[in-house]
Amino acid sequence: MLVAGLLQRSGVEVALLERRPALSPGSRAIGIHAPALAALEPSGITDELLAHALRVSRGEARSEGRLLGTVRFDRLSVRFPFVATLPQSVTERVLAGSAPPIRRAAEVTAVRPEGRRMRVWIKGGDQLVARVVLVAAGVSARRLVYRRIRVREYPDRYLMADLPAPGGPVAVVNLDRVGVLESFPLPDGFRRFVAWDDAAGDAAPEARANRMRDALERRGQHDAAGSLISASAFRVRRAVAPALVHGALVALGDTAHEVSPIGGQGMNLGLLDAATLAPLVADWVHTGVRPDAELRRWERDRLASARTAALLASLNTGLGRPLGPAGDAARRALLRVGLGTPAEAVFARAYAMGFDRDA
Ligand SMILES: Cc1cc2nc3c(=O)[nH]c(=O)nc-3n(C[C@H](O)[C@H](O)[C@H](O)COP(=O)(O)OP(=O)(O)OC[C@H]3O[C@@H](n4cnc5c(N)ncnc54)[C@H](O)[C@@H]3O)c2cc1C
C-alpha cells in the first residue's frame, strides 16, 4: 500500500492487487521505529500515524520483578525519539487512505516477462500487463519471485494477546528463568503481551489461554490475566533473499526478508524498502530507463539492513529463552552491565533501528 501510494503521488499509474477480500482485523505489527517515521514524514503519513499512536519513550529489562536496566529511546538524537505503537489495523487504514483503490480478492498466481513488459496472472483467469511489477505480498508470495530461499526455523513458540492493562508508555521485557514475557504499551490503556511458550504444550485454544494466563499472573499482571479470553500463537523464522531486483520484477517486505518478530522490525524494514524504492521506480517509469546503478545501491542497502535486523532479532530471540540457574544469572549480569554503561545507547539505537542503512 505504501509503495503504491507513493508511486501514485509521483504520477505513476498503479494497479494494487490484494488476495484478501477485506482488511484483516488481526494484529501483528504494532511498533513503528524512528527511521520509518522519518521516511514517511514527507508524505504526511507520519502525522496521521502519530495521531493514533502511543509514544514509547523507554524500555525496561526486568528479571523476577527486579529492574535490570533501562533503554532510553528519548535520548536518541533522531527526529522521532520514541517507538510509536498502534494496532496494525489502524496502520493499514492510514496507509490505505493514501494508496490507490485496492483491487481485492485478486490473488496473483504468476508473473512473467513478456518482451519489454511483465504479464501478471490473477486467480480466475484475469491478466494484467505492466512495465514494472513489485511483489510486496508477504511470505506466501515468495514463490512468485524466487525458486527457493534458505529459511531458518527457530525452535521457539510464543503466545500473544492485546489486553487492557495499566503501566504507562514504557515497554517492559521480563527475562525470567521460564522465558520472556514482553509487555508493550498500546493506545487506549491496552498492552501487547508476548510470552515464550513451550513447543510441547497442548495446542488446544483453552490450554494456550491457560498458559498465557499463568505467564501474566507470574509477573503480577492480574488485570490482564483476568480479562484474557484467548491467546494467539506464533512461531518465528528467518530468511533474507540473495537479491531483490530481477529485471522488471522487484521483491520487498516479507516476500524478500523475514525476521523474528521478537524486537519488532519486520514491518519497519518493509516500510523502508517501500519508501526508498518508490522514487527509483517513478524515475524508471517516467524515463523508460531502468536506473540500474541506483537500484543496485538500493538492493545492497536494503539487504544489508535486513541482515542486521535478522541478526538483532536472532539475539533477542535467544536472550528470551528459558535458562537454568547459572545461565539465568549470567543473563542478568550481562544485562545489568550492558544497560548500566554507555553501551545502553547502543542497545537503544539497535532496538530503534538506528543501524538500518536508511536510518
Ligand atoms: C506476532 C507478530 C508481531 C509482529 N510485530 C511487529 C512489530 O511490532 N513491528 C514490526 O516492524 N514488525 C512486526 N512483525 C512483522 C510484520 O508483521 C511483518 O514483517 C509485516 O507484516 C510484513 O509486511 P508485508 O507487507 O511485507 O507482508 P504482509 O503483512 O504479509 O502482507 C502481504 C499482503 O499481500 C497479500 N498477498 C499475499 N499473497 C498474495 C498474492 N499472491 N496476490 C495478492 N495478494 C497477496 C496478503 O493477503 C497480505 O495482505 C510482527 C509479526 C508477527 C507474526
* DSSP letter for each residue of 316-348: HHHHTS---HHHHHHHHHHHHHHHTSTTHHHHH
The owner of cell 527457530 is: 154
- What local confidence, expressed as pLDDT, does residue 264 receive? 81
Q: Is the CB of 260 under 6 A from ligand 1?
A: no
* Radius of gyration in angstroms for the set of CA atoms belonging to the chain, rounded to a whole number: 21
Give the N- to C-terminal CA distance of the chain in Å, as an integer: 21
- Integer CA distances (angstroms), 15 to 103, 132, 252, 315, in order: 8, 11, 17, 39
Q: Where are the alpha helices (DSSP H) in the chain?
A: 2-9, 34-40, 45-52, 88-97, 205-218, 222-227, 266-287, 292-319, 325-339, 344-351
- What local confidence, expressed as pLDDT, does residue 356 receive? 98
Please name the helix (run of DSSP H) or strand (run of DSSP E) that holds residue 195, with its range, or none.
Answer: strand 190-197
Q: Positive or negative CA dihedral for 154, 266, 123, 104?
A: positive
Q: Is the CB of 89 under 6 A from ligand 1?
A: no
- What local confidence, expressed as pLDDT, does residue 26 receive? 78
Identify the bridge partners of residue 78 per DSSP, sorted by sequence position: none
The owner of cell 510464543 is: 158
The C-alpha atoms of residue 85 and residue 10 are separated, in whole angstroms, by: 29
Neighbouring C-beta atoms of residue 274, cutoff 10 Å:
25
Q: Is the CB of 234 under 6 A from ligand 1?
A: yes
The protein residue whose alpha carbon is closest to atom 52 in ligand 1 is: 28
The protein residue whose alpha carbon is closest to atom 21 in ligand 1 is: 267
Q: Is the CB of 355 under 6 A from ligand 1?
A: no
Residues in the chain with pLDDT < 50?
A: none
- What local confidence, expressed as pLDDT, does residue 86 receive? 97
- What local confidence, expressed as pLDDT, does residue 263 receive? 81
Q: Which atom of ligand 1 is nearest to the CA of 184?
A: 8
- What local confidence, expressed as pLDDT, does residue 269 receive? 98
Q: For 355, which DSSP code?
A: T
- What local confidence, expressed as pLDDT, does residue 23 receive? 83
Dist. CA 271 → ligand 1 center (Å): 11
Q: Is the CB of 20 under 6 A from ligand 1?
A: yes
Q: Is the CB of 19 under 6 A from ligand 1?
A: yes
Dist. CA 247 → ligand 1 center (Å): 24
